[in-house]
Structure 1
Amino acid sequence: MKLLASDASPYARKVRVVLLETEQSDVEVVDTKTNPMANVPELSAANPVGKIPALLRDEGPALYDSRVISRFLNARADGALYPDARLWETLTLEATGDAIMDAAIGIVYEQRLRPAELHWPAWFDAQWGKVERALDALGARWMSHLHGPVDAGHIAVGCALGYLDLRHADRNWRAGRDVLAAWEKDFAARPAMLQTKPA
C-alpha cells in the first residue's frame, strides 16, 4: 500500500502517527506536493477532490479523508485507537482536532493563494475564532479524556496543536491554556509524534 502524504499536512501527519502507533511499517509513504489550486494526476486519480492524504490499497479502491484512513488502518492492525467503550467521545474529539486544522489551514490558504490586496481580515478573524473556541472547549471539557489511554482523538488534537505551532506560532495559542499546553508538551514527546514532526 502507498500513502500519498505531505510532511506539512496535519491530516497526513495524523495518518502517519496512526501507522507508527499501530506498528505498521509496510505502508510506503509517498511525498505528494499539492495545494487547492493544483491538480496532481496521481492524487486526483485516488481522491477526485485532490486532497491528501489518500491511501492506495493493493485490493479495493483508494481511501481518502484522514478519518477514514485512520479507522481503516486501526482495524487492519486490530488496534485500540477507536475503543468501543468511548467511541463517540473519541470520534468527537477527533472531529474537534480536525476542525482546528480546517480553520488554521483556511487562514494559511487565504494568505498564500489570494493576492494581498484581496485578503479579507474578517475571514482571518472568523477562522481564528473557531480555533480559539475549540481550544477553550478542549480545556473545559476534554482534559480528562486527553489524560486517558491514547486514542485517535489524542492524535488529532496533538497534530492540530503541532500545526498551530508550525503555521501560527505568532498567535500563541498556549496563552491562558496552561493545562492544555502541558498536555501537548507531553504528547509531542511521544516517539510517533517526534518522528512525524514537520521540519
Structure 2
Amino acid sequence: MQLISAGPSPFVRKVRVLLHETGQSEDVEVVEVAATPVATPPELAAANPVGKIPALIRPDGPALYDSRVITRYLDARADAGMYPQARLWETLTLEATADAIMEAGVLMVYEHRVRPEEKVFDGWVDAQWEKITRSVAAINARWMSHLAGPMDMSHIAVGCALGYLDFRHGARGWRKGNDALDDWYAVFAERESMKATAPE
C-alpha cells in the first residue's frame, strides 16, 4: 500500500502514528507529493478527487481518503481495537475535536502561504485560533479522564493535533490554562511512534 503525504501534515502523521502503534509501518510506503489547496498533483487527484491528503492506495480496492476513514480501515485490518465499541462515541467525538484543531491550524498556515499578502485576512486567522483555544480548553476540562484511560484513536489524534500546534503555532501558547493536557502531552509525545513521526 501507499500513503500519499505532503510535508508535515498532522492528518498524515495521525495515520503514520497508528501504523507504528499497530505494527503496520512496513506494509505502507509513504509517498511525498507537493500539494496545496490551489495546486493538486495528478497522483493525488487520481487517488482523491478532492485533492486532500492523506490518501491510501490499496492493491485490492479503490483508494481511501480522509484520515478518519483510513485509520478506521487500518485499525480493522490489524484488529487493533483503536475504536473500542464500549466507548466508541466518545472516541469518535474526541478524534473529531482533534481533527478540527488540526484543520484550523492548517488553515491559519495556508492563509499566509497561499494568499497574496494584500489579501490575507487577519480576522480569519484569529477566528481559527479561537476555535483552537476553545477546543483545547474543552479537552482539558472534559476529556482528561478519557485520555487517562487505555489508548485509542482519540489519543493519537489529540497528540498529533497538539504536536502540530507546537510545530506551526508554538508562539501562540496553547498550554496556558491547560495544565492537565500539557502534562498528558508531555508523556504521550515520548512514545516511540510520536518521536518517529515528529515533523521536521
Does TM, scored on the shorter chain, surpass 0.5?
Answer: yes
Which aligned segments of 4 or more residues in structure 1 are displaced greater than 3 angstroms? none
| CA displacement 1:158-193 (0-9 Å, x = unmatched) | 000000011101101111211111111101000000
**How far 1:116 sits from its partner (Å)?**
1.6
Residue aligning to 2:184: 183
Distance 1:124 1:73 in 2: 34
Q: State the AA in 1 paired with 2:63.
A: A
CA RMSD of aligned residues (A): 0.8
Q: What secondary structure does 2:56 align onto? A: strand
Residue 162 of structure 2 is aligned to residue 167 of structure 1? no
Unaligned runs of 5+ in 2: none
Distance 1:7 1:35 in 2: 10
Contact 1:71 1:82 survives alignment (8 Å): yes
Distance 1:130 1:29 in 2: 31
Distance 2:2 2:191 in 1: 24
Q: State the AA in 2 paired with 1:69.
A: I
Unaligned runs of 5+ in 1: none
Contact 2:7 2:34 survives alignment (8 Å): no
Residue aligning to 1:98: 99
Q: What secondary structure does 2:138 align onto? A: helix
**How far 1:7 sits from its partner (Å)?**
4.2
Residue 198 of structure 2 is aligned to residue 197 of structure 1? yes
| CA displacement 1:50-91 (0-9 Å, x = unmatched) | 111000001110000000000000000001110011000000
The alignment of Structure 1 onto Structure 2 pairs a total of residues equal to 199
Percent identity over the alignment is 61
**How far 1:97 sits from its partner (Å)?**
0.4
Residue aligning to 1:4: 4
Residue aligning to 2:113: 112
Q: TM-score, normalised by structure 2?
A: 0.97
Contact 2:111 2:120 survives alignment (8 Å): yes
